[in-house]
């Protein structure tokens, strides 16, 4: 045991000389709150896909939020990006860049929301493919990112930002590519771009989620894999996803936003415990704590038919809790652990990914007060 431990320690500097994927994976847990566990992003809420984007582009784009070229204070504050080292940013970019599910039909979720594919194709051929490539894969030499596989709403919004000079296209403040386009033409472009990733699909080929790599390089394995009876041990901080409420968002705002979002996503509020209120009624002083329970019965059914142990995760809970500094935090079990577990067969994996994403969406709505 000792021997293999020191051997691992010896090997570690070698591993981290380039990018440290295990560190990247760990950091990605905070990104997954908005971008999805695998950086898949989400359609309909302006959350771009990060998986498979070139590492250099991801690093550059991430730093643009820190140097003020792009603007997303909530992303910076929830992840602590401003306190991360350059190496951390390299590592998470390398991890996200290494994820490829483009061949898997289940991730073919780029949805067209209108527009003419033919018209979009014509504009793209005339104006875009010199930099973003004919197949939409982007050209690293021109620092132009891939556009295929990216969510339509995000692409639409990005082009509007270029047009309105809120974001700089082609790293050129003078760029006027989008000045003349109507909203219809921009929509047509997204319609065409949404078709490009279909060429990558391979029937029957399924994405295998990357296994947690922490255990492989960490001197103290965090997750005890084999079950020898007794309690299985996991590092508890890894099982929880956490977000502070944005400055100015009150508990009432957060609760209203969460409940509205849940209705929108077809999640039923099946329980609510105002723990601190109850205690205060008894005259006990206590930090704020409310627990919200959500469930979608159809999803619960799929999970339990697959394996009854999943019932222990139900209903999904989000707690609103005041920490030691008086800051309100939202917390939930991150189903990430479950999704990465070897227990999950295909259709259950789909459900687990979707449920986790919905719960994160509810939490996001609460943290930002927006829905
Ligand atoms: C609170 C939600 C949230 C969290 C958490 C979050 N992001 Fe984002 N991220 C967004 C949104 C929204 C955008 C789109 C903003 C825009 O239009 O510029 C974005 C955009 C990006 C982009 C630009 C993508 C592109 O195609 O140009 C990168 C890169 C990125 N995020 C990296 C990260 C990383 C790395 C983390 C974790 C350390 C992270 N994000 C965590 C919400 C989030
Ligand atoms: C001269 C090269 C060039 C041409 C031509 C060009 N682009 Fe770009 N484009 C870039 C570069 C470089 C970036 C990356 C900007 C950055 O780092 O923020 C970019 C970024 C984008 C993005 C943002 C992607 C993301 O993930 O955030 C979109 C959308 C986009 N371009 C669409 C288009 C469309 C549509 C056209 C044609 C109408 C076009 N571009 C033509 C170079 C080009």
Q: CA angle at residue 96 from 107 to 55, to 5 degrees? A: 125
pLDDT score of 22: 87
Q: Which atom of ligand 2 is nearest to the CA of 155?
A: 29
Q: Are 64 and 57 in contact (CB under 8 A)?
A: no
For a pocket test of ligand 1, which of 29, 31, 244 has the largest count of ligand atoms closer than 8 A to its C-beta? 31
Nearest-CA neighbor of 100 among 51, 49, 34? 51
**Which residue lies with its CA nearest to atom 28 of ligand 1?**
62
Distance CA 320, CA 366 (A): 9
Q: Beta-carbon neighbour count of residue 115 at 10 Å?
A: 22
Which residues does a 6 A CB cutoff place in the pocket of ligand 1? 27, 30-31, 33-35, 46-48, 50, 58, 61-62, 70, 72, 74-75, 78-79, 81, 92, 145, 157
pLDDT score of 270: 93
Q: Which atom of ligand 1 is nearest to the CA of 157?
A: 17
**Which residue lies with its CA nearest to atom 41 of ligand 1?**
31
- Token pair 């431990």 is at which residue? 5
pLDDT score of 228: 36
pLDDT score of 340: 60
Q: Which atom of ligand 2 is nearest to the CA of 169?
A: 15
Q: Are 330 and 245 in contact (CB under 8 A)?
A: yes
State the distance from the centre of ligand 1 to the C-alpha of 140, rounded, in angstroms: 20
pLDDT score of 238: 56
Q: Which atom of ligand 2 is nearest to the CA of 64?
A: 18
Distance CA 151, CA 158 (A): 11
Q: Which atom of ligand 2 is nearest to the CA of 127?
A: 37
Structure tokens at 298: 């159809």
pLDDT 10s per residue in the chain (371 long)? 344 444 444 444 333 357 899 899 889 888 887 888 889 887 766 789 999 999 999 999 999 999 999 998 888 887 889 999 999 999 999 999 999 999 988 777 677 778 999 999 999 999 999 999 999 999 999 999 999 999 998 999 999 999 999 999 999 999 999 999 999 999 999 999 999 999 999 988 888 777 544 333 333 333 333 333 333 334 555 567 778 898 899 999 999 999 999 999 899 999 999 999 999 999 999 999 999 999 988 888 988 888 888 888 888 999 999 999 899 999 988 776 666 666 667 677 778 777 887 888 898 889 888 87
Q: Are 134 and 67 in contact (CB under 8 A)?
A: no
Q: Are 100 and 51 in contact (CB under 8 A)?
A: yes
Distance CA 153, CA 118 (A): 19
pLDDT in tens, 92-105: 999 999 999 999 88
Q: CA angle at residue 217 from 213 to 335, to 5 degrees? A: 30
Distance CA 57, CA 65 (A): 13
Distance CA 249, CA 167 (A): 27
Which residues does a 6 A CB cutoff place in the pocket of ligand 2? 48, 60, 123, 127-128, 130-132, 142-145, 147, 150, 155, 158-159, 169-171, 177, 189
- Token pair 């509810």 is at which residue? 362
Residues with Cβ within 8 Å of residue 333, at least 6 apart in sequence: 239, 240, 241, 313, 316, 317
Distance CA 229, CA 162 (A): 58
Nearest-CA neighbor of 196 among 104, 134, 248? 134
Q: Based on C-alpha coordinates, what's the Rg of the chain?
A: 22
pLDDT in tens, 174-223: 999 999 999 999 999 999 999 999 999 998 888 877 754 433 333 333 33
pLDDT in tens, 56-66: 999 999 999 99
State the distance from the centre of ligand 1 to the C-alpha of 48, rounded, in angstroms: 7
Distance CA 66, CA 107 (A): 30
State the distance from the centre of ligand 2 to the C-alpha of 357, rounded, in angstroms: 28
State the distance from the centre of ligand 1 to the C-alpha of 41, rounded, in angstroms: 9
Structure tokens at 136: 């939409």
Distance CA 54, CA 49 (A): 12
Distance CA 302, CA 306 (A): 6
Structure tokens at 100: 């490829």
pLDDT score of 370: 82
Ligand number with the minimum distance to the CA of 47 = 1
Residues with Cβ within 8 Å of residue 276, at least 6 apart in sequence: 286, 287, 288, 289, 290, 322
Nearest-CA neighbor of 258 among 312, 317, 299, 323? 317
pLDDT in tens, 4-19: 444 444 444 333 357 8
Q: Are 14 and 344 in contact (CB under 8 A)?
A: no
Distance CA 105, CA 115 (A): 23
């Amino acid at each position: 045991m000792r021997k293999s431990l020191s051997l691992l320690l010896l090997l570690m500097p070698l591993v981290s000389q380039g990018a440290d994927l295990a560190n990247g994976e760990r950091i990605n847990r905070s990104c997954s709150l908005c971008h999805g566990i695998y950086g898949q992003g989400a359609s309909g809420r302006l959350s771009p896909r990060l998986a498979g984007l070139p590492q250099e582009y991801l690093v550059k784009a991430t730093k643009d939020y820190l140097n003020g070229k792009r603007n997303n204070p909530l992303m910076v504050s929830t992840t602590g990006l401003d306190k991360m080292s350059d190496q951390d940013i390299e590592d998470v970019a390398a991890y996200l860049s290494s994820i490829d599910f483009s061949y898997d039909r289940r991730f073919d979720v780029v949805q067209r929301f209108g527009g003419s594919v033919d018209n979009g194709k014509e504009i793209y051929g005339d104006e875009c493919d010199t930099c973003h490539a004919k197949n939409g894969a982007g050209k690293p030499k021109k620092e132009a990112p891939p556009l295929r596989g990216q969510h339509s709403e995000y692409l639409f919004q990005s082009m509007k930002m270029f047009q309105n000079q809120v974001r700089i296209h082609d790293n050129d403040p003078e760029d006027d590519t989008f000045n003349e386009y109507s909203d219809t033409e921009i929509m047509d472009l997204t319609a065409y771009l949404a078709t490009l990733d279909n060429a990558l699909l391979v029937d029957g080929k399924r994405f295998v989620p990357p296994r947690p790599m922490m255990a492989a390089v960490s001197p103290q394995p965090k997750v005890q894999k084999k079950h020898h009876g007794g309690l299985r041990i996991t590092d508890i901080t890894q099982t929880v996803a956490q977000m502070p409420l944005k400055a100015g968002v009150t508990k009432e705002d957060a609760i209203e936003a969460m409940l509205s979002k849940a209705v929108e996503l077809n999640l039923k509020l099946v329980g609510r415990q105002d723990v601190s209120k109850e205690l205060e009624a008894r005259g006990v002083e206590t930090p704020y704590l409310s627990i919200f329970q959500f469930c979608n019965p159809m999803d619960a059914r799929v999970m339990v038919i697959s394996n009854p142990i999943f019932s222990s995760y139900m209903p999904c809970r989000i707690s609103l809790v005041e920490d030691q500094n008086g800051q309100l935090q939202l917390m939930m079990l991150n189903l990430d652990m479950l999704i990465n577990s070897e227990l999950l067969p295909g259709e259950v994996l789909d459900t687990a990914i979707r449920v986790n994403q919905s719960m994160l969406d509810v939490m996001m709505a609460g943290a930002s007060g927006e829905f």
